Structures are given as C-alpha cells and as structure tokens.
Amino acid sequence: MARKGAARAVRLNCPKCFSAFTVVAYLSRGIAANDYWKARAEEHDCVSHEKMVAAVRSGDVTKNPLKASKAAARGKQ
Ligand SMILES: [Zn+2]
C-alpha cells in the first residue's frame, strides 16, 4: 500500500466572512495545493461557523462533553 500523503492542517481565511479557520486534508503529491486550499476556503460554511463562534462567546460549551466534564471536575476541587 502506497501512502498518498500526510495530513496537512492549514489555516485558511474565508473570502466571504473573513473568518480564519483550520482545514485538515490529505494532499496527494502533484496536486496544485494553492488551488486546493483556495477552493476549500471558498467552501467555508459561514452560517455554521457564525453559530459556533456565537456559542463559544456565550459560554455554551455543553455540546462538547469533554470540556463539560473537565469543567465539572474543576468545580469539584
Ligand atoms: Zn466564511
């Protein structure tokens, strides 16, 4: 089995809502990386991102069970 490439995490800026976000992808050798990342940036789900940011700002982290349990553990100390 030949490996097609390593996972890359790249910080992108959405051209629509100007948010910075991270995309993780496996890039094959020979792919036009710049074009690929540009396309991924244009695929940004602005609405979901906005909701997520709003949830974080309002302190609503209960959707993340790991964070919620850590917060609970801290509260017991
Ligand atoms: Zn966006």
Residue 60 falls inside a structural domain:
yes
57 Cα: distance to centroid of ligand 1 (angstroms): 17
51 Cα: distance to centroid of ligand 1 (angstroms): 11
Residue 1 falls inside a structural domain:
no
Residue 13 falls inside a structural domain:
yes
pLDDT in tens, 51-65: 988 998 998 766 566
Q: Range of 67's domain? A: 8-74
Ligand 1 is an ion; its neighbours by CB within 5 Å are 14, 16-17, 44, 46
Task: Report whether 11 contacts 22 (CB < 8 A).
Answer: yes
Residue 37 falls inside a structural domain:
yes
Total number of domains in the chain: 1
pLDDT in tens, 16-41: 999 999 999 888 888 888 899 999 99
Q: What is the pTM of this model?
A: 0.59
Integer Cα distance of 29 and 61 in angstroms: 38
Integer Cα distance of 53 and 57 in angstroms: 6
64 Cα: distance to centroid of ligand 1 (angstroms): 22
Residue 28 falls inside a structural domain:
yes
Integer Cα distance of 47 and 53 in angstroms: 10
44 C-beta neighbours (distance < 10 Å), count = 19
Residue 2 falls inside a structural domain:
no
Residue 47 falls inside a structural domain:
yes
